[in-house]
Chains A and B, each alone.
Chain A
Amino acid sequence: MSTVNLAGPSGLRKFKDKLALVLVCAAFALAVIPLVTLLYTVIKNGAKRFDMEFFTHSMNAIGGRDAGGGAYHAIIGTIEQVGLASVISIPIGVLTAIYLVEYGGGGRLARVVTFFVDVMTGVPSIVSGLFVFAFWIALLGFEYMGFAGSLALSVLMLPTVVRAAEEMLKLVPNDLREASYALGVPRWRTICFVVLPTAFTGIITGVMLAVARVMGETAPLLMTVFVTTAINNDPFKGPQMSLPLFVWDQAQLPQQVAIDRAWAGALTLILFVMLLNLAARLIARLRKPVSR
């Protein structure tokens, strides 16, 4: 007769359990290390040029070797391009989500659209830039301009907005819709004044995350917005600048003053993106869409 040990798992099993614990904790630490060093280096190196001149001056007539200069033109460009991209993609995205949730009803078109929204999420950012270049600049013959960049960014933003809005609209309880129909309210008014307001904060959160995502995109802007050193306030005329392009441009110069400008640009960009992220999450936390 063999004796049964009821004292607990055997030594080998205990060892495996401990080993797994160590490995899993190590995996998490491995992910935190790059995040911490990245934030640390960006803040440390970015602080050097994070001054008033950086935010009030452009790079006009300042060579790579010269000190000074700033990213005013790039910040203007980023805000205009991302703003225009939002104006294009938010209405289309939310309407598409409304179609998928309220009208599509699992029909064939709705299934195809859902599939291609997923596929569109995976379109590489540089491909969207090439697309807008091929269409807007090479075929229609427009010059490089901020608006072309907005078009490329909205291709990237669209699927994210659709996804976020779709998830939120699905959360709206059917009772609300039925109550509204029972009062004789037409469908479109039900959607506009009952469904959308209920899902509003959730959609805002998703949109802000989408904006934060496209704000840091560099690749599609290279072949649509091009690069300039001067302030250009008009997104429909001539090359503009944007913060990611500014960093890309300065980071490739060998001089330390240029590298410092690149770091300051990166710090500004990260601040923008993180603030948007943080605000989005705060809104999501303060008012959960349907928590009754």
Chain B
Amino acid sequence: MTSETLEQGATRALGGRARKMSTGRTGDRLFGLSAKGSGILLLAVMAAIAVFLIVKALPALRADKANFLTSQEWNPDAAQSRFGIAQLTFGTVLSSLLALILATPVAVGIALFIGFYAPRRLADGLGYVVDLLAAVPSIVYGLWGLQFFVPKMNGVATFLHDDFGWIPLFGGDTVGGQCILTASIVLAIMILPIISSITREVFLQVPRANVEAALALGATRWEVIRMAVLPFGRSGMISASMLGLGRALGETIAVALVLGTASGISLHLLKPGGNTFAANIANTFAMAGKIGQSALIASGLVLFVITLLVNMAARAVIARRKEFV
């Protein structure tokens, strides 16, 4: 209150020039409110995503005559609407986990190479080369995968099946390039830069003293990494790979283009076909009817929840040892 009278006093004293002497309080309030409003708007968008997906998923869930969680069918637009997410969940989780297993060691290797092995002057440039992998749009990965990589994988798949068919994963009756293994490799390439750039940042935080102490004790370069660097960066590596997993789970277009269209649950990695949440939505949305679209939205909701949980878990690991990232 007192400040307001002060302002009025100043206005009276300065007469016509009062407007230029504004304390800016109104502007401050407006600006602060709009900044706060933007933050709240962002929260509202997140809430709206959940709410609208649930609202639009309900009609299909009500019409579903099969068990939504355990059924392997996907015929939401039939007269007797029957659909379930069992095979989608299986395909999504299998391809993403496989991609994670393939990508993590390579990504850690890249981070080590750039951080400890490459000449200092080249390190930045090499990091940029890896970041370029992240800049390539997923549709280009899809096109490359379909036109270039799948034909190559046809041979690899036949070779693996003929020579290592006794391993159940490589068994099965039919083999081909448009299989889960190919999709996983493409996914692995796509999540590589994410994992390696976060891991690299964690490695940069390793205390210089630990590294030098290990060197002073006569450790070789590998021993320094194993004893000083890797233990320090463990939680960072875990959360980095979980963020990569989150990306792989939601990746759509590349998987949709690379995978064949046969459906069903099969552990045979070389069998053409398989399906994921995102690929199923991308492939069938345009042709779906009312209930079909609603069913796809329901499956999208499940995907949203899964990626949300994975990302939150990754953030929680980071937050527990915040000083690393």
- Give the B-binding residues of A (Cβ under 8 A): 9, 13-14, 16-17, 19-21, 23-28, 30-32, 34-35, 37-38, 41-42, 45, 91-93, 95-96, 98-100, 102-104, 109-110, 112-113, 115-128, 130-131, 133-135, 138-139, 155, 158, 162, 185-189, 191-192, 212-213, 215-219, 222-223, 226-227, 244, 247-248, 251-252, 259, 262-263, 266, 269-270, 273-274, 277, 281
Q: Interface code B77-91, partner A: CB below 8 Å = 1, 0 otherwise?
A: 000000000000000
* Neighbour of B293 across the interface among A13, A19, A138, A252, CB < 8 A: A138
* Chain A residues, Cβ within 8 Å of B312: 119
Write the nearest CB–CB distance from A202 to chain B, whole angstroms: 17
Give the dominant DSSP class at B's interface: helix
Q: What's the Cα separation between A94 and B242 when bound, in Å? A: 28
In the bound complex, do residue B285 and residue A122 qualify as a contact, i.e. CB atoms below 8 Å apart?
no
In the bound complex, do residue B222 and residue A20 qualify as a contact, i.e. CB atoms below 8 Å apart?
yes
Write the nearest CB–CB distance from B248 to chain A, whole angstroms: 10
In the bound complex, do residue A124 and residue B252 qualify as a contact, i.e. CB atoms below 8 Å apart?
yes
In the bound complex, do residue A217 and residue B192 qualify as a contact, i.e. CB atoms below 8 Å apart?
no
Can you name 6 A-B pairs with beta carbons within 8 Å? A30-B106, A41-B147, A120-B45, A124-B278, A134-B56, A216-B140
Write the nearest CB–CB distance from B182 to chain A, whole angstroms: 13
In the bound complex, do residue B28 and residue A186 qualify as a contact, i.e. CB atoms below 8 Å apart?
yes
In the bound complex, do residue B308 and residue A162 qualify as a contact, i.e. CB atoms below 8 Å apart?
no
Q: Which of B179-226 contact A (CB under 8 A)?
A: 189, 192-193, 196, 218, 220-223, 225
Q: What's the Cα separation between A110 and B38 when bound, in Å? A: 11
* Neighbour of B144 across the interface among A42, A93, A134, A158, CB < 8 A: A42
In the bound complex, do residue A216 and residue B139 qualify as a contact, i.e. CB atoms below 8 Å apart?
yes
User: Is B14 located at the chain interface by the 8 A CB criterion?
Assistant: no
Write the nearest CB–CB distance from A164 to chain B, whole angstroms: 14
Closest B residue to A98 by CB, please name it.
Answer: B35
In the bound complex, do residue B285 and residue A222 qualify as a contact, i.e. CB atoms below 8 Å apart?
yes
Q: Which of B249-263 contact A (CB under 8 A)?
A: 249-253, 257
In the bound complex, do residue A28 and residue B139 qualify as a contact, i.e. CB atoms below 8 Å apart?
no
* Chain A residues, Cβ within 8 Å of B300: 126-127, 130
Q: Interface code B27-66, partner A: CB below 8 Å = 1, 0 otherwise?
A: 1101110111111111101101100110110000000000
Q: What's the Cα separation between A83 and B142 when bound, in Å? A: 25
| With A112-B43, A123-B49, A269-B139: A219-B130 Cβ-Cβ less than 8 Å | no
User: Is B113 located at the chain interface by the 8 A CB criterion?
Assistant: yes
In the bound complex, do residue A189 and residue B24 qualify as a contact, i.e. CB atoms below 8 Å apart?
yes
Q: A117-B42, A188-B27 are in contact. List 4 more A-B contacts (CB 8 A).
A: A158-B42, A188-B28, A248-B253, A273-B137
User: Is B112 located at the chain interface by the 8 A CB criterion?
Assistant: yes
Closest A residue to B42 by CB, please name it.
Answer: A96
Q: What's the Cα separation between A124 and B309 when bound, in Å? A: 13
* Chain B residues, Cβ within 8 Å of A219: 138, 252-253, 278, 281-282
Give the dominant DSSP class at A's interface: helix
- Give the A-binding residues of B (Cβ under 8 A): 22-25, 27-28, 30-32, 34-43, 45-46, 48-49, 52-53, 55-56, 105-110, 112-114, 117-118, 126, 128-130, 132-133, 135-144, 146-148, 189, 192-193, 196, 218, 220-223, 225, 243, 246-247, 249-253, 257, 278, 281-282, 285-286, 293, 296-297, 300, 303-304, 307-308, 310-312, 315
In the bound complex, do residue A42 and residue B140 qualify as a contact, i.e. CB atoms below 8 Å apart?
yes
Q: What's the Cα separation between A211 and B8 when bound, in Å? A: 47
In the bound complex, do residue A24 and residue B109 qualify as a contact, i.e. CB atoms below 8 Å apart?
yes
Write the nearest CB–CB distance from B167 to chain A, whole angstroms: 22
In the bound complex, do residue B250 and residue A251 qualify as a contact, i.e. CB atoms below 8 Å apart?
no
Q: What's the Cα separation between A8 and B150 when bound, in Å? A: 49
* Chain A residues, Cβ within 8 Å of B303: 124, 126-127
Closest A residue to B46 by CB, please name it.
Answer: A116
* Chain A residues, Cβ within 8 Å of B113: 24-25, 27-28
Q: What's the Cα separation between A121 and B23 when bound, in Å? A: 39
Q: What's the Cα separation between A186 and B41 when bound, in Å? A: 25
* Chain A residues, Cβ within 8 Å of B43: 112-113, 116
